[in-house]
Amino acid sequence: LRDYMDSLGRPKNLFIIVNPFSGKKCARTVFKNEIKPLLAAADIDCTIIETKHRNHAQEITKSLDLLKYDGIVCVSGDGVLVEVVNGLLNREDWATAIKLPLGVIPAGTGNGMVKSLLDPAGDLCSIPNATFAVIRGHKRSLDVAIVLQGEKKFFSVLLLIWGLVADVDIESEKYRWMGSPRFDIYALLRIMKLRKYHGHVHFVPAPGYEAYGEPVKQVDNFKGHILLSKQDQESTTTVQSCGYQGPEISLEGLEWRSIVGPFVSLWVNNVPFSAENYIPAPKAKFSDGCLDVIIVRNCPRSALLGMMLKMSDGSYVKSPYVMYLKVKAFRLEPGKRVGHPTKGGIIDSDGEVIARGDESAVNSEHKYLMDYG
Ligand code: ADP
Ligand code: MG
């Protein structure tokens, strides 16, 4: 059986990371009762570890002996997967480490990655379907975006949000007791008391999207971390001291364009689904070297409400108030909230809050560059 599995490219040894804190806190039981028996029946050897705290998965993968495993599987939400990607890309041997297949079995509140993987095959986003996909050893390549914020750098596989969506996502935390209706209820509240944010969005358009925004004449220093696509990555990277730094590519020849606010909402996506029932970026592809950017500037409240009702099938993008474009690189210069002297907006990338919207965050003039590896 083992030789046969090998011939099919199926995994024989998996490192499994279970987040007992994910979602409804039942990942441990679900793993024992529903997942482990399937993996055992498929004759897969599992090394299992439970995360004890935030960033634990990142710490584990940073020092894990990868040669022992055919893949790492997260029994969790998207958060642990993001930690694993960051752990791998911060290793000295990141270039080989990142080739290790990764899997996710949905046990969290946010399962956008599993949903994005299973949905095109017509499969429901369920624990057995995800487990079977792992057993079959199906693989797809995935773009990783580098997010730079001053001296800080991290790797993103899902999204970056600012404005309405980020405010709803993060500020509604205090209504967690409601369960998932908290998002809809708080979104209604936020639409009624709509906020707008000053700021600029700069981007390098993907082919076909050159007409969006206005040309930028001069692009200042982005610390040289401009990268374009997977192919570029392979040909231009130099050996780095520790972890992937991003290839150094000249800014010359890149056509930057810019859109000026005020903005209601900004949503940058690497994959179509941000959660099981939200499809903000229906045109997003796993490895096209592009991020899908959705911008809403001026928009009447009634239209926003209408869009909210069409989030689950992605048809909201047809609204005339939605600007949908694909970019190769991206930079956000967030400003203050319109009509408010000090407050900025929350910025969240893959669940990591990189700006809280407080006074200091605005004064320090955050600049983000998101680009490709
Ligand atoms: P969900 O989709 O429900 O948010 P995730 O698996 O994405 O679930 O995990 C959410 C967060 O929980 C991650 O940021 C992760 O670092 C954190 N975490 C992992 N293990 C623990 C733990 N033992 N206690 C508290 N938080 C944890
Ligand atoms: Mg993409």
**Best of 16, 18, 72, 80 for a ligand 1 pocket test (most atoms within 8 Å of beta carbon):** 80
Q: Write the burial class of residue 286 (CB in 10 Å: 0-12 exposed, 13-18 middle, 19+ buried).
A: middle
ω before 262 within 30° of 0 (cis)?
A: yes
Tell me which of 84, 102, 136 is where a domain ends: 136
pLDDT of residue 229: 33
Residues 74 and 208 in one domain: no
Dihedral, CA of residue 6, residue 116, residue 104 and residue 174, to nearest 10: 180
Give the end of a domain, one of 94, 109, 136.
Answer: 136
Statement to judge: residues 214 and 323 lie in one domain: yes
Residue at token pair 């993008």:
317
* Structural domain boundaries enclosing 215: 152-372
> So what's the pLDDT on residue 173?
85
Distance 66 CA to ligand 2 centre (A): 27
Name the helix (H) or strand (E) containing 189. Answer: helix 181-192
Give domain status of residue 176, yes or no.
yes
Determine which one of 70, 78, 232, 371 is catalytic: 78
* Closest residue by CA, ligand 1 atom 11: 79
Is residue 279 within 8 Å of residue 312, measured between CB atoms? yes
Out of 112, 136, 160, a domain closes at: 136
- State the SS3 of 311-355: CCCCHHHHCCCEEEEEEEEEEEEEEEECCCCCCCCEEEECCEEEE
CATH number at 89 reads 3.40.50.10330
Identify whether residues 216 and 363 lie together within a single domain. yes
End-to-end CA distance of the chain: 37
Query: In which residue ranges of the chain is pLDDT below 70?
Result: 1-2, 5-6, 218-241, 246-253, 359-373
Rounded to two decimals, the pTM is 0.90
Q: Do residues 323 and 212 make contact, with C-beta atoms less than 8 angstroms apart?
A: yes
Distance 218 CA to ligand 2 centre (A): 27
Is 320 buried (19+), middle (13-18) or exposed (0-12) by CB count in 10 A?
exposed
Residue type, 363: N
126/256 same-domain check: no
Is 110's C-beta closer than 6 angstroms to any atom of ligand 1? yes
CB of 106 within 6 A of ligand 1: the answer is no
Which residues, at least 6 apart from 359, have a Cβ–Cβ distance to it below 8 Å?
342, 343, 344
> Is 3 a catalytic site residue?
no
Q: Residue 276 has which token pair?
A: 């099981």
Query: Is residue 296 in a domain?
Result: yes
Q: Does residue 147 lie within any of the structural domains?
A: no
The answer on 204 and 269 residing in a single domain is: yes
Distance, CA of 96 to CA of 103 (rounded, Å): 17
Q: Could you give the angle at the alpha carbon of 264 between the alpha carbons of 262 and 270, nearest 5°?
A: 110
Structural domain count of the chain: 2
User: Is residue 261 packed enough to be buried (19+ CB in 10 Å), middle (13-18) or exposed (0-12)?
Assistant: buried
SS (H, E, C) 210-238: CCCCEECCCCCCCCCCCCCCHHHHHHHCC
Model pLDDT for residues 174-222, shown as the tens digit of each residue: 887 887 788 889 999 999 999 999 999 999 999 999 999 999 876 554 4
Longest Cα–Cα distance of the chain, Å, equals 67
The complex's ipTM?
0.97
